[in-house]
Amino acid sequence: CNYVDVAVSGFPEAPGNWKCITHDLNRMICSWDATSSANRGLTYKICQFRAAAIKTPVSAVAGNDFECMLFFLVSFQALIPLTPQILNLSADFSTYTLYLTWNDSGSVFQHELDASWQIQILYKETMETVTLINYDSKLTGKDSILFWNWTSDIPLECTSYYVKIRCYINELYFTGRKEWSEWSPVRTPNSVMVFPQDKVVLVGSNVTFCCLYNEGKSVKFMKYGSESYPLLRLSKWSSAIKVQNVSASVPSGTNVWCSLVPDDVEGTVLFVGYAPDTPQNLNCETRTFITITCSWNPGRPTALYSKRRTKYILFESPKYMELPLKTTPTSKHACDFPVHANQKIYNFTLSASNPLGQAESSLLIDVNQRVHLETPDKFTVSTNSSTHAHLSWYIPGNFIKIRLLCQIEISNSNSERQLNVSMAGAENSNYRAWVDALHPYGTYTFRVRCSASEYFWKWSKWSEGKKLTTLEAPPARGPDIWRQRSPVGETVTVFWKPLLLSEANGIILSHEVVCYLRERMLKAHEVPVPLNSTEIKLGGNDCLISVIAKNRAGSSPPSRITSVDLPSDNVKTELAIATGNGIYISWHSDPNVTCGYTLKWCISSGSEPCNVDWEMFPSNAIDAVIKSALFQPGVRYNFSLYGCKHNGYQLLQNITGYMKELPPKVAPNFTVEETSSDSILVKWEDIPVEDCQGFLKGYILYFAKGEKGSSKTSFMEEGSPELTVKNITDLTKKSLRILGLQGKTSYRLDLRAYTVGGIGPSKDLYVVTKENSVGLIIAILIPVAVAVVLGVVTSILCYQKREWIKETFYPDIPNPENSKALQFQKNICEGNTALKTLEMNPCTPNSVEVVETRSTVLKIEDTEIISPVADSELPEDGSETGTGSHVVVSYCPPIIEEEISSPPIDEPVGSSQVIYIDIQSMYQPQVNPEEEPEINFVTTAGYKPQMQLPINAMKMESHSPTEEDLDKIAGYRPQANTNVWKLNSPDSPVSIQSNNENGSFGSPCSINSRQFLIPPKDYEDSPTPNNTGWSFTHFFQNKPND
Amino acid sequence: MASAEQSPVPLQHYSLCSRIIHLAKKIRSDVASLLESYVERQGLDRTISLDSVDGVPAAAMEQEGKLTVAERLGANLQAYRAFQVLLGEVLEEQRSHLTPLDTDFHASIQSILLQVVALDYQLGELLALLGHGRPAWEAASPENPGHRSLFEMKLRGLKVLQELAHWTVRSVRDLRQVAKHSQDFGAAHGELPERNLQL
């Protein structure tokens, strides 16, 4: 029993509306109406008695006084399945079909049960019932998905549809009532759809797509392909896009989708293509007379595939026999149609259709005129002869009613021919043919093709090729032969040429050479291949020579030639003409020649003996072009022309020629035999024949001035304007004298040979013409005479002026007043106002008092060389005279004063007199004697030529090596930049008075002082010729001052 | 389940796991390539919403961490069995309706289908090694694709490939856990040399 506590007050009443239901046959759910509201605090106790089965006692116990009331109520038990739920309801608008899926909830029950389902279809807004369908199923104890579909009579788009479902469980052992479940909630098909669904349209169409969606959703966008289109709002629950001029779609179609909010997508696919093209090149023919094969080209692709592809149907009227055709993805479509026994004429109509349209092609044929045989099969070739072959092949099909024409192709390496064979048709039979006129021992390739004979339509394909070699036959003719007698005539060598393959009729095994003397066989030789000559001893007799070629099948007819050589005299050698690919030879016709001419030649290759070759011509021939694969350009060949006379062969002529003439391979060797001052004698040698490469036509000599070792390029490349060319066409001439040349000049000579083929390489040499001796003598004598005359004149002048020279250059006692140098200085100071740098106005000559004279050993050679005038004409470093013993005795203080704006205070300004106490006094004003005891060793020396200054300075330098000290003791300083001079005269003193490092460089006084007071040792050691010239010039310049 | 985790042949587990992982990676790579060509041939967009497509096993699980090894492998096995059916449908739809002439494309789908079959077999082997035996092939719910629109076919094929790619990722992750467990177990019992797992 189960207890249900209910608070009931008052006296309990029997429960009303008592009922119990179960959904799963496992659990019962009971319900009743409670008694009146006054009876609170009641407790219900429910007990089930299986025995009574239909009565259930129920007791009610009062709460407070524990009064219990027992009611027996008749049970109201029912089996009511759970309300089913529709899983999915979808619609296929193209087929007006609704698809319903639901779960049978079979797992609710523990065992198998029969279930019935009632599906109600309603439509319109008023939900009128369209149909009510019963559907039975079996519950298996597991959940199963059940399907059901329903097809409407009207398009589903026309109105709204609703579906609901309920269930009934037919449990036989349940004693209670069994009732239908509740109806499931009404379900409408998924109405989010895009229309039209999977439609096929023509390229270029304008298509409108609409999107239907449920309440609560909205359209985010609609796309055609990948492109969004503007939305056209159709209604509250539908939108559309319009796509114009659609283009052909891909095989899977173009997608149109509708994106919704909240996130959902629906779509459709549009297929855009073309209507089928008219089938092109419709052709129907039979191959076997069993079926007719029709083929065609579908034409323009439709861009539609799968279910939308083009479908072809072939009709044969008037029977209108319709054949489903095999379609292939290739461009060619074909199908087979049966041949009817008594029908010749067939009228075919081919229809092509797809969802966008259809097209037709028709063809009327006579099947006998449309025979295109299959490729001949099982093709075989055989032979047992040297000229015949048997062929056999197989063609499938029934050709009893027609004749066949077969073409046999026979080809070998150099020919091809076709042979047509007509034969009666048969059914699936072998066909045979034989061919003749084949060449013995020939290798042929055979193949065959066939067609109808009476009405030719098409050849079949060629069969596969088969090769065959015919049997051998005896050689067709004897070989070409020639003979050559030995010089003494004891033997004769017989030559023969190998037969051509077409003449040999097989493999030549040997040649038989027989010598006959008046029909009597003297000797026989069997010569195996590959030998092609043999020697026969004549033994003093001439004979008739016969040569026979042999192969496995037999012998050739004999070739005959006599061994007799007729004597010939005065045989000339002629030149042949090269034609580029052969040698043109002509000869004079000889009336005594009755059996033709033979032209024989020999081609040697390397060290091997030459191969004799020949060619025969009829008696009326007078020329020939000899060609041979062995001929090479630039090679000389010798030919012998024999005439065949009734009693033997006679040598008529020798011919020499080239197939093609080339330029000489080498240059001629040439030398210069004689040279003179205006001519050269050149000699050259012949070029060897093998190097000529053609008939020599002459030599070309180029010559022009040119030094050996200069450019090696040819004259023509240099384009020398003085180039002279001499063409020597007289081949007997081997020397040439070149005249009109210049003496003692180098010439370049270049000699080349040439043929018709061109000019050969060059060889050059250089030669120097001899000198013209008379001119040389004159050129020597004139300068010598001039020199002698000049020497005499100079001697005379010196003799006349000897006193002046002595006074000037070699006085007994040097007198400064007589010094030209001082005079010169004075002249400069007085007269040369043009020298702006000097500015020596006024300039008073200083008087020099010589306190002490030195011995005359100390020689002052030339005071003139320190002259500013001379200095201006001298290069700065060219002041040396070679002795290095110069004394400067002029002194010009005003120059220094003008150069130096602030002279030292202790120096007497404007001093006009300088007293030379001794040479050391030049340095005293600058140096305190007490402070410089080292230099006192010269203070007692009296007058010292300034020649010694450098010596003293060097001595002092050894005591005080610093440059500054050197400057202080340097005495007179030139006013030039000492730094500039430093390289040339490192001992040069610097002007103490000025202390000016930037002394005037252009001052002639300064320069002269530098030059002669402290002459650089370098120049002392290396007098140059310029000094000599300088001295001579001044010698003459100073002469008027005397 | 406990018996599965105490397998006496961890080395075999490890080796088999490695092979399955490599196969899953291969499938994923191939599916990635196929997805590219699929989207191109069907004129679809990879970003299109596929929520409306049902019936395709989803790889994502909320309480994945609570699954045992056997449950993980069983879920993988069931998924790949479902994908065999789905790929077969996709292939047939492409041949019959969408890309009838694109044999190369069909061959690509066929190749993946065969690999999924192989993966199914190997997963079954692994489950058997773990002592669970191969689960019975549950008959797939008989779908009725006859009313499916071409657009739905396209979306469904896309979703099948996408979910298959996701499943391969999940399988690799699951198999690594199984392999790691096998390695730990083998190392503890001296049956598997210690080495770095590069799966």
| Mean pLDDT score, A299-321 | 84
**Extended strands (E) in A425-567:** 427-435, 443-452, 466-469, 481-485, 491-496, 508-517, 520-528, 533-537, 544-551, 554-555, 559-562, 565-566
Q: Hey, are the CB atoms on A264 and B52 less than 8 Å from each other?
A: yes
Question: According to the model, what pLDDT value does residue A794 have?
Answer: 92
Average pLDDT of chain B? 82
Is pLDDT above 70 for A960?
no
Tokens of A120: 């109600």
Please tell me if residue B37 touches chain A, with a CB cutoff of 8 Å.
no
Q: Which of A194, A255, A307 lies at the smallest CB-CB distance from B43?
A: A255
List residues in chain A touching B: CB distance below 8 A.
Answer: 90-92, 95, 97, 99, 101, 145, 147, 149, 194, 197-198, 225-226, 250-257, 259, 263-269, 305-307, 309, 329
Q: Between residues A110 and A930, which one has the greater pLDDT?
A: A110
Is pLDDT above 70 for A338?
yes
Q: Hey, are the CB atoms on A226 and B101 less than 8 Å from each other?
A: no
| Mean pLDDT score, B82-92 | 94
Mean pLDDT: which of A780-794, A801-815, A918-932 is highest? A780-794
Q: Hey, are the CB atoms on B149 and A268 less than 8 Å from each other?
A: yes
How far is B79 from chain A, CA to nearest CA, in Å? 19
Question: According to the model, what pLDDT value does residue A448 have?
Answer: 96
- Tally A–B CB contacts below 8 A: 84
Question: According to the model, what pLDDT value does residue A630 have?
Answer: 86
Q: Which of B43, B49, B97 lies at the smallest CB-CB distance from A265?
A: B49
Question: According to the model, what pLDDT value does residue B142 have?
Answer: 52
Query: How sure is the predictor about B65, in pLDDT bands with cuts at 50, 70 and 90?
Result: low
Count how many Cα atoms sit within 13 Å of the Cα of residue B100 in the half-sphere of its side chain: 12
Q: Which of A197, A254, A309 lies at the smallest CB-CB distance from B43?
A: A254
Please tell me if residue B104 touches chain A, with a CB cutoff of 8 Å.
no
Question: According to the model, what pLDDT value does residue A191 have?
Answer: 62
Q: Hey, are the CB atoms on B150 and A99 less than 8 Å from each other?
A: no
Q: Which residues of B touch A250 (CB under 8 A)?
A: 41, 43
ipTM of the complex model: 0.83
Is pLDDT above 50 for A933?
no
Average pLDDT of chain A? 76
Q: What does the alpha-carbon distance between residue A554 and residue A252 come to, in Å, rounded to a whole number?
A: 80
Q: Hey, are the CB atoms on B43 and A95 less than 8 Å from each other?
A: no
Q: State whether the Cα torsion B8-B11-B13-B16 is positive or negative.
A: negative
Phi first, then psi, for residue B105 (nearest 5°) are -65, -40
| Mean pLDDT score, A923-949 | 41
Mean pLDDT: which of A388-397, A588-597, A897-906, B67-76 is highest? A388-397
Phi first, then psi, for residue A800 (nearest 5°) are -65, -35
Question: According to the model, what pLDDT value does residue B85 have?
Answer: 93
Query: How sure is the predictor about A952, in pLDDT bands with cuts at 50, 70 and 90?
Result: very low
Q: Hey, are the CB atoms on B147 and A255 less than 8 Å from each other?
A: no
Q: Which residues of B touch A225 (CB under 8 A)?
A: 43
- For the segment A227-257, what is each residue's pLDDT rounded down to a tens digit? 999 999 888 888 999 999 999 999 999 999 9
Q: Between residues A356 and A690, which one has the greater pLDDT?
A: A356
Of residues A201, A199, A259, A249, the one with CA closest to residue A228: A259
Tokens of A29: 């759910």
Is pLDDT above 80 for A1042?
no
How far is A154 from chain B, CA to nearest CA, in Å? 17
Q: Hey, are the CB atoms on B144 and A99 less than 8 Å from each other?
A: yes
Kindly state the helix (H) or strand (E) to which residue A772 belongs, with its residue range: none
- For the segment B122-172, what is each residue's pLDDT rounded down to a tens digit? 999 888 888 877 777 765 555 555 568 899 999 999 999 999 999 999 999
Q: What does the alpha-carbon distance between residue A160 and residue A679 come to, in Å, rounded to a whole number?
A: 132
Kindly state the helix (H) or strand (E) to which residue A453 belongs, with its residue range: none
SS3 state at A452:
strand
Of residues A888, A881, A907, A885, the one with CA closest to residue A896: A907
A317-344 per-residue burial string, b: 16 or more CB within 10 A, e: under 16 = eeeeeebebeeeeeeebebbbebeeeee
How far is B155 from chain A, CA to nearest CA, in Å? 9
End-to-end Cα, chain B, rounded Å: 24
| Mean pLDDT score, A1027-1035 | 39
CA nearest B92 in A: which residue?
Answer: A306
Q: Which of A97, A194, A252 lies at the smallest CB-CB distance from B43?
A: A252
Q: Between residues A965 and A471, which one has the greater pLDDT?
A: A471
Is pLDDT above 50 for A178?
yes
Q: Which of B41, B49, B50 lies at the smallest CB-CB distance from A252?
A: B41
Q: Which residues of B touch A305 (CB under 8 A)?
A: 99-101
Q: Hey, are the CB atoms on B150 and A269 less than 8 Å from each other?
A: yes
**% of chain A with per-residue pLDDT over 90:** 36
- For the segment A43-84, what is each residue's pLDDT rounded down to a tens digit? 777 776 654 444 444 444 444 445 566 666 656 688 899 899
Question: According to the model, what pLDDT value does residue B144 have?
Answer: 56
Q: Between residues A693 and A332, which one has the greater pLDDT?
A: A693
Question: According to the model, what pLDDT value does residue B80 have?
Answer: 94
Q: Which residues 148-187 in chain B show a CB within 8 A of chain A?
A: 149-151, 154-155
Query: How sure is the predictor about A1021, in pLDDT bands with cuts at 50, 70 and 90?
Result: very low
Count how many Cα atoms sit within 13 Å of the Cα of residue A537 in the half-sphere of its side chain: 1
CA nearest B102 in A: which residue?
Answer: A251
Is pLDDT above 80 for A982?
no
Is the pTM higher than 0.90? The answer reads no
Kindly state the helix (H) or strand (E) to which residue B168 belongs, with its residue range: helix B150-188
Question: According to the model, what pLDDT value does residue B169 have?
Answer: 93
| Mean pLDDT score, A653-670 | 92
Question: According to the model, what pLDDT value does residue A72 have?
Answer: 63
Tokens of B6: 């105490």
Q: Between residues A889 and A263, which one has the greater pLDDT?
A: A263
Question: According to the model, what pLDDT value does residue A731 have?
Answer: 87
How far is B194 from chain A, CA to nearest CA, in Å? 48
Q: Hey, are the CB atoms on A263 and B42 less than 8 Å from each other?
A: no
Q: List own/partner pairs for A480-485 with CB under 8 A and 24 or more apart.
A: A480/A559, A480/A614, A480/A616, A481/A545, A481/A547, A481/A559, A481/A560, A481/A561, A482/A561, A482/A598, A482/A600, A482/A612, A482/A614, A483/A545, A483/A561, A483/A563, A484/A600, A484/A612, A485/A538, A485/A563, A485/A565
Query: How sure is the predictor about A321, in pLDDT bands with cuts at 50, 70 and 90?
Result: low
